[in-house]
Structure 1
Amino acid sequence: MADATADNPGGTGDLVPAPRKRAVKPRHAASLIVWRQGSGEPEILMGMRHAKHKFMPSVLVFPGGRVDRGDHRVRVLSELKPETLALLAHRAPPSLARALGVAAVRELFEETGLLLGDRQGERLLADLAPLDYLCRAVTPTRRSMRFDARFLIAPADFVRGEISGSGELEGLAWYPLAQARAAKLADITAMILNEFAEWLTVPPDQRTSRPKIVYRGNDNRMSDE
Protein backbone atom coordinates (compact mmCIF):
# COMPACT_ATOMS: atom_id res chain seq x y z
CA MET A 1 0.00 0.00 0.00
CA ALA A 2 1.35 3.43 -0.90
CA ASP A 3 2.28 5.89 1.83
CA ALA A 4 -0.80 8.10 2.03
CA THR A 5 1.09 11.05 3.51
CA ALA A 6 4.32 10.79 1.58
CA ASP A 7 3.63 14.07 -0.18
CA ASN A 8 2.94 16.03 3.01
CA PRO A 9 5.52 18.83 3.26
CA GLY A 10 4.65 19.43 6.89
CA GLY A 11 5.85 15.93 7.71
CA THR A 12 9.15 14.15 7.42
CA GLY A 13 9.04 13.23 3.75
CA ASP A 14 11.35 10.45 2.65
CA LEU A 15 14.27 10.16 5.07
CA VAL A 16 16.29 7.84 2.82
CA PRO A 17 19.33 9.63 1.38
CA ALA A 18 19.06 10.08 -2.35
CA PRO A 19 21.14 7.43 -4.18
CA ARG A 20 21.72 9.84 -7.05
CA LYS A 21 24.75 12.01 -7.70
CA ARG A 22 22.47 14.87 -8.69
CA ALA A 23 20.04 16.34 -6.21
CA VAL A 24 16.39 15.58 -6.84
CA LYS A 25 14.47 18.66 -8.01
CA PRO A 26 12.06 19.73 -5.25
CA ARG A 27 8.33 19.59 -5.95
CA HIS A 28 6.24 22.65 -5.25
CA ALA A 29 3.98 22.12 -2.26
CA ALA A 30 1.86 23.98 0.25
CA SER A 31 0.80 23.40 3.85
CA LEU A 32 -1.98 25.22 5.64
CA ILE A 33 -1.90 26.28 9.28
CA VAL A 34 -5.55 26.69 10.26
CA TRP A 35 -5.85 28.24 13.71
CA ARG A 36 -8.35 29.55 16.20
CA GLN A 37 -8.11 31.26 19.57
CA GLY A 38 -8.66 28.74 22.34
CA SER A 39 -9.58 29.48 25.93
CA GLY A 40 -5.98 30.07 26.91
CA GLU A 41 -3.87 29.97 23.76
CA PRO A 42 -4.12 29.51 19.99
CA GLU A 43 -5.16 26.09 18.72
CA ILE A 44 -3.93 24.62 15.43
CA LEU A 45 -5.51 21.97 13.23
CA MET A 46 -3.03 19.09 12.92
CA GLY A 47 -3.01 15.33 12.39
CA MET A 48 -0.61 12.45 12.78
CA ARG A 49 1.14 10.23 10.31
CA HIS A 50 0.14 6.60 10.63
CA ALA A 51 1.82 4.61 13.40
CA LYS A 52 2.69 1.89 10.87
CA HIS A 53 4.89 4.18 8.80
CA LYS A 54 8.46 2.96 8.62
CA PHE A 55 9.94 6.42 9.09
CA MET A 56 8.92 8.73 11.95
CA PRO A 57 5.56 7.15 12.83
CA SER A 58 2.94 9.15 14.69
CA VAL A 59 4.46 12.50 13.76
CA LEU A 60 2.15 15.50 14.03
CA VAL A 61 1.85 17.51 10.80
CA PHE A 62 -0.19 20.24 9.12
CA PRO A 63 -2.58 19.43 6.26
CA GLY A 64 -0.75 19.90 2.98
CA GLY A 65 0.77 18.36 -0.10
CA ARG A 66 2.23 18.97 -3.52
CA VAL A 67 0.73 21.20 -6.18
CA ASP A 68 -1.24 19.29 -8.81
CA ARG A 69 -1.43 20.28 -12.46
CA GLY A 70 -5.13 21.04 -12.10
CA ASP A 71 -4.46 23.58 -9.33
CA HIS A 72 -3.19 26.03 -11.95
CA ARG A 73 -6.38 26.43 -13.93
CA VAL A 74 -9.35 26.00 -11.61
CA ARG A 75 -11.93 28.65 -10.82
CA VAL A 76 -11.88 30.02 -7.28
CA LEU A 77 -14.37 31.71 -4.99
CA SER A 78 -11.96 34.56 -4.24
CA GLU A 79 -8.42 35.46 -5.22
CA LEU A 80 -5.39 35.87 -3.00
CA LYS A 81 -4.91 39.18 -1.27
CA PRO A 82 -2.35 41.29 -3.17
CA GLU A 83 0.07 41.07 -0.23
CA THR A 84 -0.14 37.28 -0.04
CA LEU A 85 0.16 36.92 -3.80
CA ALA A 86 3.26 39.13 -3.80
CA LEU A 87 4.92 37.07 -1.07
CA LEU A 88 4.14 33.77 -2.81
CA ALA A 89 5.27 35.19 -6.16
CA HIS A 90 8.61 36.28 -4.70
CA ARG A 91 10.09 32.91 -5.71
CA ALA A 92 7.42 31.75 -8.15
CA PRO A 93 5.56 33.05 -11.21
CA PRO A 94 2.06 34.42 -10.47
CA SER A 95 0.33 31.34 -11.90
CA LEU A 96 2.25 29.09 -9.51
CA ALA A 97 1.69 31.48 -6.61
CA ARG A 98 -2.07 31.17 -7.10
CA ALA A 99 -1.82 27.39 -7.55
CA LEU A 100 -0.01 27.12 -4.21
CA GLY A 101 -3.00 28.74 -2.51
CA VAL A 102 -5.40 26.43 -4.34
CA ALA A 103 -3.32 23.38 -3.37
CA ALA A 104 -3.35 24.36 0.30
CA VAL A 105 -7.15 24.68 0.32
CA ARG A 106 -7.64 21.49 -1.70
CA GLU A 107 -5.36 19.46 0.60
CA LEU A 108 -7.18 20.83 3.64
CA PHE A 109 -10.47 19.52 2.27
CA GLU A 110 -9.06 16.19 1.10
CA GLU A 111 -7.24 15.44 4.35
CA THR A 112 -9.61 16.88 6.95
CA GLY A 113 -13.03 17.32 5.32
CA LEU A 114 -12.99 21.02 6.20
CA LEU A 115 -13.90 23.50 3.50
CA LEU A 116 -12.27 26.87 2.95
CA GLY A 117 -14.50 27.98 0.10
CA ASP A 118 -17.53 26.39 -1.54
CA ARG A 119 -18.51 23.35 -3.60
CA GLN A 120 -20.41 23.18 -6.87
CA GLY A 121 -21.15 19.51 -7.33
CA GLU A 122 -17.78 17.81 -7.14
CA ARG A 123 -15.92 21.02 -7.86
CA LEU A 124 -14.11 22.80 -5.03
CA LEU A 125 -14.04 26.59 -5.26
CA ALA A 126 -11.23 27.77 -3.00
CA ASP A 127 -11.61 30.89 -0.92
CA LEU A 128 -8.08 32.27 -1.24
CA ALA A 129 -8.67 35.73 0.25
CA PRO A 130 -8.25 34.66 3.93
CA LEU A 131 -4.79 33.16 3.31
CA ASP A 132 -1.67 34.73 4.78
CA TYR A 133 1.91 33.77 3.97
CA LEU A 134 4.28 32.56 6.69
CA CYS A 135 7.51 31.19 5.18
CA ARG A 136 9.10 28.65 2.84
CA ALA A 137 11.08 25.44 3.44
CA VAL A 138 13.19 23.46 0.98
CA THR A 139 14.00 19.81 1.73
CA PRO A 140 17.76 19.08 1.99
CA THR A 141 19.44 17.93 -1.21
CA ARG A 142 20.39 14.52 0.20
CA ARG A 143 16.76 13.38 0.41
CA SER A 144 15.24 11.25 -2.33
CA MET A 145 11.90 13.09 -1.99
CA ARG A 146 12.15 16.87 -1.88
CA PHE A 147 9.71 19.78 -1.58
CA ASP A 148 9.81 23.51 -2.01
CA ALA A 149 6.99 24.03 0.48
CA ARG A 150 5.17 27.25 1.27
CA PHE A 151 3.44 27.53 4.62
CA LEU A 152 0.20 29.48 4.61
CA ILE A 153 -2.11 30.55 7.43
CA ALA A 154 -5.91 30.77 7.63
CA PRO A 155 -8.20 31.69 10.53
CA ALA A 156 -10.67 28.97 11.47
CA ASP A 157 -13.51 31.51 11.21
CA PHE A 158 -13.43 31.07 7.43
CA VAL A 159 -13.50 27.25 7.52
CA ARG A 160 -16.76 25.25 7.32
CA GLY A 161 -17.72 21.65 8.02
CA GLU A 162 -16.88 18.92 10.50
CA ILE A 163 -13.52 17.22 10.80
CA SER A 164 -13.95 13.89 9.05
CA GLY A 165 -10.61 13.03 7.50
CA SER A 166 -9.88 10.72 4.61
CA GLY A 167 -7.50 8.31 6.29
CA GLU A 168 -4.44 10.27 5.21
CA LEU A 169 -3.96 11.73 8.69
CA GLU A 170 -4.93 10.23 12.04
CA GLY A 171 -5.87 11.99 15.25
CA LEU A 172 -7.08 15.12 13.48
CA ALA A 173 -7.88 17.71 16.12
CA TRP A 174 -7.35 21.25 17.34
CA TYR A 175 -4.08 21.16 19.27
CA PRO A 176 -3.21 23.98 21.69
CA LEU A 177 0.08 25.51 20.62
CA ALA A 178 1.98 24.29 23.69
CA GLN A 179 0.63 20.75 23.23
CA ALA A 180 1.58 20.75 19.56
CA ARG A 181 5.09 21.91 20.38
CA ALA A 182 5.46 19.15 22.98
CA ALA A 183 4.31 16.42 20.58
CA LYS A 184 6.51 14.22 18.42
CA LEU A 185 7.40 16.47 15.50
CA ALA A 186 9.74 16.58 12.55
CA ASP A 187 12.37 19.27 13.13
CA ILE A 188 10.97 21.45 10.36
CA THR A 189 7.44 21.25 11.81
CA ALA A 190 8.74 22.42 15.19
CA MET A 191 10.48 25.33 13.49
CA ILE A 192 7.35 26.28 11.55
CA LEU A 193 5.38 26.28 14.80
CA ASN A 194 7.97 28.65 16.25
CA GLU A 195 7.64 30.82 13.16
CA PHE A 196 3.86 30.85 13.54
CA ALA A 197 4.10 31.74 17.24
CA GLU A 198 6.33 34.69 16.34
CA TRP A 199 3.89 35.73 13.56
CA LEU A 200 1.10 35.91 16.14
CA THR A 201 3.05 38.48 18.17
CA VAL A 202 3.29 40.87 15.22
CA PRO A 203 0.46 43.43 14.80
CA PRO A 204 -1.78 42.30 11.90
CA ASP A 205 -1.03 45.40 9.83
CA GLN A 206 2.72 44.67 10.04
CA ARG A 207 2.74 40.94 9.29
CA THR A 208 3.28 41.27 5.54
CA SER A 209 6.36 43.40 6.26
CA ARG A 210 8.10 40.65 8.23
CA PRO A 211 11.44 39.51 6.78
CA LYS A 212 11.01 36.75 4.19
CA ILE A 213 12.30 33.47 5.64
CA VAL A 214 13.31 30.17 4.08
CA TYR A 215 14.54 26.99 5.77
CA ARG A 216 17.28 25.19 3.84
CA GLY A 217 19.79 22.39 4.33
CA ASN A 218 19.54 20.97 7.83
CA ASP A 219 16.57 23.26 8.48
CA ASN A 220 18.75 26.37 8.60
CA ARG A 221 16.71 29.53 8.98
CA MET A 222 17.83 31.98 6.30
CA SER A 223 16.77 35.20 4.63
CA ASP A 224 14.65 34.67 1.53
CA GLU A 225 15.01 38.26 0.33
Structure 2
Amino acid sequence: MSDISRPDGGADNPGGNPDLKRAAARAPGTKAVRPRNAASLIVWRQARGAEPEILMGNRHAKHKFMPSVLVFPGGRVDRTDHGVKTITELRPETEALLRHRAPPSLARAIGVAAIRELAEETGLLLGERKGERVLADLAALDYLCRAVTPASRAMRFNARFLLAPAETVRGEIAGSGELENLAWYPLSKALDAKLADITRKMLAEFSSWLETPAGERHRRPKIVFRGNDNRMSDE
Protein backbone atom coordinates (compact mmCIF):
# COMPACT_ATOMS: atom_id res chain seq x y z
CA MET A 1 0.00 0.00 0.00
CA SER A 2 1.33 3.42 -0.93
CA ASP A 3 2.26 5.93 1.72
CA ILE A 4 -0.31 8.37 0.44
CA SER A 5 -3.19 6.08 1.45
CA ARG A 6 -2.03 5.82 5.06
CA PRO A 7 -3.56 7.80 7.91
CA ASP A 8 -0.38 9.81 8.50
CA GLY A 9 -0.71 11.32 5.02
CA GLY A 10 2.82 10.23 4.13
CA ALA A 11 4.45 11.44 0.95
CA ASP A 12 5.87 9.43 -1.89
CA ASN A 13 8.31 12.23 -2.66
CA PRO A 14 10.56 14.09 -0.22
CA GLY A 15 10.67 17.86 -0.47
CA GLY A 16 7.90 20.28 -1.29
CA ASN A 17 7.29 24.00 -1.23
CA PRO A 18 8.16 26.13 1.85
CA ASP A 19 4.60 26.16 3.24
CA LEU A 20 4.45 22.36 3.13
CA LYS A 21 7.87 22.09 4.76
CA ARG A 22 6.77 24.27 7.66
CA ALA A 23 3.60 22.23 8.11
CA ALA A 24 5.62 19.02 8.34
CA ALA A 25 8.44 20.36 10.54
CA ARG A 26 9.49 18.26 13.52
CA ALA A 27 9.04 19.70 17.01
CA PRO A 28 11.98 21.77 18.30
CA GLY A 29 14.33 19.80 20.54
CA THR A 30 13.29 16.41 19.23
CA LYS A 31 15.71 13.97 17.63
CA ALA A 32 15.87 13.85 13.84
CA VAL A 33 13.76 11.08 12.35
CA ARG A 34 15.59 8.35 10.46
CA PRO A 35 14.65 8.46 6.76
CA ARG A 36 12.50 5.61 5.49
CA ASN A 37 13.55 3.93 2.27
CA ALA A 38 11.23 4.74 -0.61
CA ALA A 39 11.03 4.37 -4.38
CA SER A 40 9.41 6.45 -7.11
CA LEU A 41 9.05 5.28 -10.70
CA ILE A 42 9.20 7.58 -13.71
CA VAL A 43 7.48 5.76 -16.57
CA TRP A 44 8.01 7.64 -19.81
CA ARG A 45 7.35 7.50 -23.53
CA GLN A 46 8.41 9.56 -26.52
CA ALA A 47 7.24 9.49 -30.09
CA ARG A 48 9.70 10.50 -32.79
CA GLY A 49 9.92 14.29 -32.96
CA ALA A 50 7.66 14.80 -29.93
CA GLU A 51 8.48 15.83 -26.39
CA PRO A 52 8.62 13.09 -23.75
CA GLU A 53 5.51 12.21 -21.77
CA ILE A 54 5.57 11.01 -18.15
CA LEU A 55 2.99 8.99 -16.25
CA MET A 56 1.88 11.12 -13.29
CA GLY A 57 -1.14 11.78 -11.10
CA ASN A 58 -2.38 14.21 -8.47
CA ARG A 59 -2.40 13.40 -4.80
CA HIS A 60 -5.97 13.54 -3.47
CA ALA A 61 -7.17 17.05 -2.61
CA LYS A 62 -8.16 15.90 0.89
CA HIS A 63 -4.64 14.79 1.86
CA LYS A 64 -3.23 17.00 4.60
CA PHE A 65 0.25 16.63 3.10
CA MET A 66 0.87 17.91 -0.45
CA PRO A 67 -2.80 17.95 -1.54
CA SER A 68 -3.40 18.03 -5.31
CA VAL A 69 0.35 17.99 -6.05
CA LEU A 70 1.34 16.17 -9.23
CA VAL A 71 3.67 13.23 -8.47
CA PHE A 72 5.14 10.04 -9.88
CA PRO A 73 3.84 6.68 -8.64
CA GLY A 74 5.78 5.56 -5.60
CA GLY A 75 5.95 4.90 -1.89
CA ARG A 76 7.94 3.41 0.93
CA VAL A 77 9.74 0.09 0.76
CA ASP A 78 7.82 -2.54 2.75
CA ARG A 79 9.20 -5.59 4.53
CA THR A 80 7.30 -7.74 2.05
CA ASP A 81 9.37 -6.29 -0.81
CA HIS A 82 12.45 -8.17 0.39
CA GLY A 83 13.30 -11.59 -0.99
CA VAL A 84 10.20 -12.01 -3.14
CA LYS A 85 10.14 -13.88 -6.43
CA THR A 86 10.55 -11.81 -9.60
CA ILE A 87 10.55 -12.71 -13.29
CA THR A 88 13.88 -10.94 -13.92
CA GLU A 89 16.64 -9.43 -11.82
CA LEU A 90 18.14 -5.94 -11.93
CA ARG A 91 20.55 -5.33 -14.76
CA PRO A 92 24.15 -5.19 -13.47
CA GLU A 93 24.53 -1.45 -14.10
CA THR A 94 21.25 -0.61 -12.34
CA GLU A 95 22.03 -2.90 -9.43
CA ALA A 96 25.48 -1.33 -9.03
CA LEU A 97 23.97 2.17 -8.83
CA LEU A 98 21.35 1.11 -6.27
CA ARG A 99 23.93 -0.78 -4.21
CA HIS A 100 26.16 2.28 -4.01
CA ARG A 101 24.23 3.41 -0.91
CA ALA A 102 22.27 0.27 -0.03
CA PRO A 103 23.02 -3.39 0.74
CA PRO A 104 22.13 -5.92 -2.00
CA SER A 105 18.85 -7.02 -0.40
CA LEU A 106 17.64 -3.43 -0.06
CA ALA A 107 18.74 -2.51 -3.59
CA ARG A 108 16.55 -5.28 -4.97
CA ALA A 109 13.65 -4.43 -2.64
CA ILE A 110 13.70 -0.82 -3.87
CA GLY A 111 13.10 -2.04 -7.42
CA VAL A 112 10.33 -4.38 -6.26
CA ALA A 113 8.67 -1.55 -4.30
CA ALA A 114 8.70 0.78 -7.31
CA ILE A 115 6.96 -1.81 -9.49
CA ARG A 116 4.50 -2.81 -6.76
CA GLU A 117 3.52 0.82 -6.21
CA LEU A 118 3.06 1.31 -9.96
CA ALA A 119 0.56 -1.56 -10.01
CA GLU A 120 -1.25 -0.39 -6.87
CA GLU A 121 -1.55 3.24 -7.91
CA THR A 122 -2.03 3.03 -11.69
CA GLY A 123 -3.14 -0.52 -12.52
CA LEU A 124 -0.21 -0.89 -14.93
CA LEU A 125 2.02 -3.96 -14.72
CA LEU A 126 5.76 -4.00 -15.10
CA GLY A 127 5.98 -7.76 -14.84
CA GLU A 128 3.32 -10.43 -14.34
CA ARG A 129 0.47 -10.88 -11.89
CA LYS A 130 0.25 -14.14 -9.98
CA GLY A 131 -2.83 -14.15 -7.81
CA GLU A 132 -2.64 -11.06 -5.63
CA ARG A 133 1.10 -10.62 -6.18
CA VAL A 134 3.02 -8.80 -8.86
CA LEU A 135 6.14 -10.58 -10.10
CA ALA A 136 8.39 -7.66 -11.00
CA ASP A 137 10.36 -7.29 -14.21
CA LEU A 138 13.36 -5.70 -12.52
CA ALA A 139 15.47 -5.78 -15.69
CA ALA A 140 13.33 -2.98 -17.16
CA LEU A 141 14.48 -0.47 -14.53
CA ASP A 142 17.06 2.29 -14.84
CA TYR A 143 18.40 4.40 -11.99
CA LEU A 144 18.18 8.20 -11.97
CA CYS A 145 19.24 9.52 -8.54
CA ARG A 146 18.06 9.76 -4.94
CA ALA A 147 16.75 12.41 -2.55
CA VAL A 148 16.83 12.59 1.25
CA THR A 149 14.24 14.64 3.12
CA PRO A 150 15.78 17.38 5.33
CA ALA A 151 16.46 16.49 8.97
CA SER A 152 14.11 19.28 10.05
CA ARG A 153 11.11 17.36 8.73
CA ALA A 154 8.90 15.18 10.94
CA MET A 155 8.52 12.68 8.10
CA ARG A 156 11.63 11.74 6.16
CA PHE A 157 12.43 9.54 3.16
CA ASN A 158 15.55 8.27 1.44
CA ALA A 159 13.90 8.01 -1.96
CA ARG A 160 15.42 6.43 -5.05
CA PHE A 161 14.04 7.58 -8.37
CA LEU A 162 13.91 4.86 -11.02
CA LEU A 163 12.85 4.90 -14.67
CA ALA A 164 11.12 2.54 -17.07
CA PRO A 165 10.07 3.05 -20.71
CA ALA A 166 6.35 2.79 -21.43
CA GLU A 167 6.82 -0.16 -23.80
CA THR A 168 7.81 -2.34 -20.83
CA VAL A 169 4.49 -1.87 -19.01
CA ARG A 170 1.15 -3.37 -19.95
CA GLY A 171 -2.50 -2.96 -19.08
CA GLU A 172 -4.82 0.01 -18.93
CA ILE A 173 -4.52 2.92 -16.53
CA ALA A 174 -6.97 2.18 -13.74
CA GLY A 175 -6.24 4.22 -10.66
CA SER A 176 -7.03 2.91 -7.20
CA GLY A 177 -8.04 6.33 -5.93
CA GLU A 178 -4.64 7.03 -4.39
CA LEU A 179 -3.75 9.27 -7.33
CA GLU A 180 -6.24 11.34 -9.34
CA ASN A 181 -6.05 12.50 -12.95
CA LEU A 182 -3.62 9.75 -13.89
CA ALA A 183 -2.38 10.45 -17.40
CA TRP A 184 0.61 10.81 -19.68
CA TYR A 185 1.77 14.40 -19.15
CA PRO A 186 3.96 16.08 -21.76
CA LEU A 187 7.08 17.34 -19.99
CA SER A 188 6.19 21.01 -20.55
CA LYS A 189 2.68 20.48 -19.13
CA ALA A 190 4.04 18.64 -16.10
CA LEU A 191 6.46 21.49 -15.40
CA ASP A 192 3.56 23.98 -15.47
CA ALA A 193 1.58 21.96 -12.89
CA LYS A 194 1.57 22.23 -9.10
CA LEU A 195 4.71 20.29 -8.15
CA ALA A 196 6.82 19.63 -5.10
CA ASP A 197 10.25 21.20 -5.50
CA ILE A 198 11.93 17.80 -5.67
CA THR A 199 9.57 16.57 -8.39
CA ARG A 200 10.43 19.58 -10.53
CA LYS A 201 14.11 18.86 -10.04
CA MET A 202 13.61 15.19 -10.89
CA LEU A 203 11.98 16.20 -14.16
CA ALA A 204 15.10 18.25 -14.93
CA GLU A 205 17.31 15.25 -14.06
CA PHE A 206 15.15 13.05 -16.29
CA SER A 207 15.51 15.50 -19.19
CA SER A 208 19.30 15.43 -18.80
CA TRP A 209 19.29 11.61 -18.55
CA LEU A 210 17.19 11.36 -21.71
CA GLU A 211 19.61 13.57 -23.64
CA THR A 212 22.52 11.29 -22.65
CA PRO A 213 23.30 8.48 -25.15
CA ALA A 214 21.68 5.27 -23.91
CA GLY A 215 24.98 3.44 -23.55
CA GLU A 216 26.42 6.21 -21.35
CA ARG A 217 23.51 6.80 -18.98
CA HIS A 218 24.74 4.46 -16.24
CA ARG A 219 28.06 6.36 -16.22
CA ARG A 220 26.46 9.70 -15.37
CA PRO A 221 27.65 11.26 -12.08
CA LYS A 222 25.79 9.91 -9.06
CA ILE A 223 23.53 12.63 -7.65
CA VAL A 224 21.68 13.07 -4.35
CA PHE A 225 19.41 15.91 -3.27
CA ARG A 226 19.80 16.91 0.39
CA GLY A 227 18.75 19.71 2.70
CA ASN A 228 16.41 22.06 0.90
CA ASP A 229 16.63 19.90 -2.22
CA ASN A 230 20.25 20.88 -2.87
CA ARG A 231 21.84 18.93 -5.71
CA MET A 232 25.05 17.25 -4.54
CA SER A 233 27.48 14.54 -5.60
CA ASP A 234 26.60 11.08 -4.31
CA GLU A 235 30.00 9.59 -5.14
TM-score of Structure 1 vs Structure 2, range by shorter chain? over 0.9
CA RMSD of aligned residues (A): 1.7
| CA deviation string 1:36-94 (max 9, x = no partner) | 01462110000001122334321100000000001011100100000000000000000
Residue 24, structure 1, aligned to residue 33, structure 2: yes
Residue 58, structure 1, aligned to residue 68, structure 2: yes
Partner Cα separation in structure 1 for residue 188 and residue 95 of structure 2: 30
| CA deviation string 1:153-188 (max 9, x = no partner) | 000001010000111000000000110011110000
Equivalent residue of 1:183, what SS? coil
Q: Is the 8 A contact 1:87 1:133 kept in 2?
A: yes
More deviation in 18-27 or 211-220?
A: 18-27
Equivalent residue of 2:167, what SS? helix
Q: Does the C-alpha gap of structure 1 residues 123 and 135 become closer, same or farther in structure 2, counting only changes over 3 Å?
A: same
Partner Cα separation in structure 1 for residue 8 and residue 41 of structure 2: 18
Q: Is the 8 A contact 1:10 1:63 kept in 2?
A: no
More deviation in 121-130 or 212-221?
A: 121-130
Amino acid at match of 1:18: R
Which residue, 38, 41, 44 being the options, matches 1:35?
44
- Unmatched runs of 5 consecutive residues or more in structure 1: none
Partner Cα separation in structure 2 for residue 183 and residue 95 of structure 1: 36
The corresponding residue for 1:67 is 77
Q: Is the 8 A contact 1:118 1:125 kept in 2?
A: yes
The corresponding residue for 2:56 is 46
Partner Cα separation in structure 2 for residue 3 and residue 120 of structure 1: 29
Partner Cα separation in structure 2 for residue 42 and residue 91 of structure 1: 29
Partner Cα separation in structure 1 for residue 136 and residue 98 of structure 2: 17
1:93-132 equivalence runs, <5 A? 93-132=103-142
Percent identity over the alignment? 69
Residue 8, structure 1, aligned to residue 12, structure 2: yes
Q: Does the C-alpha gap of structure 1 residues 217 and 192 become closer, same or farther in structure 2, counting only changes over 3 Å?
A: same
Q: Is the 8 A contact 2:15 2:229 kept in 1?
A: no
Aligned residue-pair number: 225
TM-score normalised over the length of structure 2? 0.91
Q: Is the 8 A contact 1:10 1:31 kept in 2?
A: no
| CA deviation string 1:93-137 (max 9, x = no partner) | 000000000000000000000000001122210000010000000
The corresponding residue for 1:186 is 196
The corresponding residue for 1:150 is 160
